[in-house]
Structure 1
Amino acid sequence: MTDMAESESDVSTDVSALPMLSHSVSYTSIQKPPFVVSVIGSGNWGTTVAKIIAENTRENPLLFEQKVRMWVYEEEFEGSNLSDIINTEHVNKKYLPGIKLPDNLVAVPDLLEAVQHSNILIFNIPHQHLEKILSQLRGNIDPRARAISCLKGLRVNLDGVELLPDIIQDALGIHCGVLAGANLAQEVAEQRFSETTVGYPLPADYKPGDVDHTVLYTLFHRPYFHVHVIEDIAGISCAGALKNIIAISVGFVEGLEWGDNAKAAMLRRGLLEMIKFGRKFFPGCLVSSFTEESAGVADLFTTCTGGRNFKLAKIMAQTGKSAHEVEKEILNGQSAQGLITAKEIHELIKNKGCEEEFPLFETTYQILFHGVRIGILPYMLENKWSISKPNYSS
Structure 2
Amino acid sequence: MSNLTKIAVLGAGSWGTVLADLLVNNGHQVDLWGNSAEMAAEINEQHTNRHYLPEFQINPAVHATLDLKETLTDAEAVLFVLPTAAIRPVAQQLVPVLAELKTQPILISATKGLELESHDRISQIMADVFPKEIADGLVIFSGPSHAENVATHDLTSLTVASQKMANARWVQKIFMNNYFRLYTNDDMLGVELGGALKNVIAIGAGMLHGLGYGDNAKAALMTRGLAEISRLGVKMGANPLTFMGLSGIGDLIVTCTSVNSRNWRCGNALGEGQPLAEVLANMGMVVEGVGTAEAVHELSQQMAVEMPISEAIYQVLYEEADLRAEITKLMHRDARNEAEFEN
Q: TM-score range by the shorter chain?
A: 0.7 to 0.9
How far 1:177 sits from its partner (Å)? 1.3
Q: Over the residues paired in the alignment, what is the CA RMSD in angstroms?
A: 2.6
Name the counterpart of 1:4: none
Residue 230 of structure 1 aligns to which amino acid in structure 2? N
What letter corresponds to residue 201 of structure 1 in structure 2?
Q
Cα 1:373–1:286 change in 2 (3 A) is same
Give 1:1-394 correspondences, 5 Å limit: 33-34=2-3, 35-56=5-26, 58=27, 66-76=28-38, 82-141=39-98, 142-157=102-117, 161-173=119-131, 174=134, 175-202=137-164, 211-281=166-236, 283=237, 285-293=238-246, 295-305=247-257, 306=259, 307-319=261-273, 322-324=275-277, 326-328=279-281, 330-331=282-283, 336-352=287-303, 354=304, 357-368=306-317, 369-377=319-327, 379-380=329-330, 383-384=333-334
User: Which runs of no fewer than 5 residues in structure 2 stay unpaired?
Assistant: 336-343
Opposite residue 193 of structure 1, the aligned amino acid is L
After superposition, the Cα gap between the structure-2 partners of 1:89 and 1:252, relative to the gap in structure 1 and judged at 3 Å, is closer
Q: How many residues align?
A: 324
- Offset at 1:379? 4.3
Are 1:316 and 1:323, in contact at CA under 8 Å, matched by a contact in 2? yes
Q: Tell me the distance in 2 between the aligned counterparts of 1:74 and 1:254.
A: 35
Note if contact 1:120-1:145 (Cα within 8 Å) is conserved in structure 2: yes
| Equivalent-residue separation in structure 1 for 2:292 and 2:276 (angstroms) | 14
Retained in 1: the 8 A contact 2:232–2:300? Answer: no
Q: Percent identity?
A: 28
Contact kept, 8 Å, 1:317 with 1:374, in 2: the verdict is no
Q: Deviations over 1:116-143 (max 9, x none)?
A: 1222111112222222212221122145
Residues 35-66 of structure 1, C-alpha deviation per residue, up to 9 Å, x if partnerless? 4322122221101111111222x2xxxxxxx4
- Residue by residue, what CA displacement relative to the aligned partner does 1:350-392 show, whole Å, maximum 9, x if unpaired? 344x26x11111122223324244244254256449xxxxxxx
Q: Distance in 2 between matches of 1:324 and 1:377?
A: 22
Q: Which whole-Å CA distance do the structure 2 matches of 1:178 and 1:136 have between them?
A: 20
> Is the Cα–Cα contact under 8 Å of residues 244 and 309 in structure 1 kept in the other structure?
yes
Give the whole-Å Cα distance in 2 for the aligned partners of 1:108 and 1:115. 11
1:92/1:365 Cα in 2 relative to 1: closer, same or farther (>3 Å)? closer
Deviation, 1:107, is: 2.1
User: In structure 1, the residue corresponding to 2:177 is in which secondary structure?
Assistant: coil
Residues 234 and 347 (structure 1), Cα distance of their counterparts in 2 relative to 1, 3 Å cut: same
Q: Would the alpha carbon gap of residues 335 and 139 (structure 1) be closer, same or farther in structure 2, given more than 3 Å must change?
A: closer
The answer as to whether partners of 2:34 and 2:65 remain within 8 angstroms in 1 is yes
Query: Aligned pair in 2 of structure 1 residues 312, 101: CA closer, same or farther (>3 Å)?
Result: closer
C-alpha contact 1:169 1:176 (8 A) present in aligned 2:
no
Give structure 1 stretches of 5+ with no counterpart. 1-31, 59-65, 77-81, 204-210, 386-394
Change (3 A) 1:335 1:67: closer
Whichever residue aligns with residue 360 of structure 1, its letter is: I
Instruction: Report if aligned partners of 1:40, 1:72 keep a CA contact under 8 Å in 2.
Output: yes
The CA deviation at 1:156 is: 4.4
Q: Which moved more, 1:222-231 or 1:246-255?
A: 246-255
Where is the helix percentage greater, Structure 1 or Structure 2?
Answer: 2
For 1:250, the aligned partner's letter is A
Higher mean C-alpha displacement, 128-137 vs 95-104:
95-104
How far does residue 188 in structure 1 lie from its aligned partner after superposition?
0.5
- Tell me if the contact between 1:139 and 1:172 (Cα under 8 Å) persists in the aligned partners: no
Per the normalisation by structure 2, the TM-score is: 0.84
Separation (CA, whole Å) in 2 of partners of 1:96 and 1:253: 27
- CA gap of 1:96–1:372, structure 2 versus 1, over 3 A, is closer
Take 2:286 and 2:57, find their aligned partners in 1: how far apart are those partners? 31
- TM-score when normalising by structure 1: 0.74
Q: 3-state SS of the aligned residue for 1:140?
A: helix
| 1:191 counterpart SS class | coil
Alpha-carbon distance in structure 2 between the residues aligned to 1:214 and 1:362: 37
Q: Distance in 2 between matches of 1:95 and 1:258?
A: 30
Question: In terms of Rg, which structure is larger?
Answer: 1
State the Cα deviation string for residues 82-120 of structure 1 (Å, max 9, x = none): 434433444334443443333443222201111012221
Q: Is the 8 A contact 2:33 2:65 kept in 1?
A: yes
The residue number in structure 1 matching 2:338 is: none
- How far apart in 1 are the matches of 2:270 and 2:50? 34
Render the CA deviation track for 1:210-236: whole Å, top value 9, x for unaligned. Answer: x53432122111211111121222112
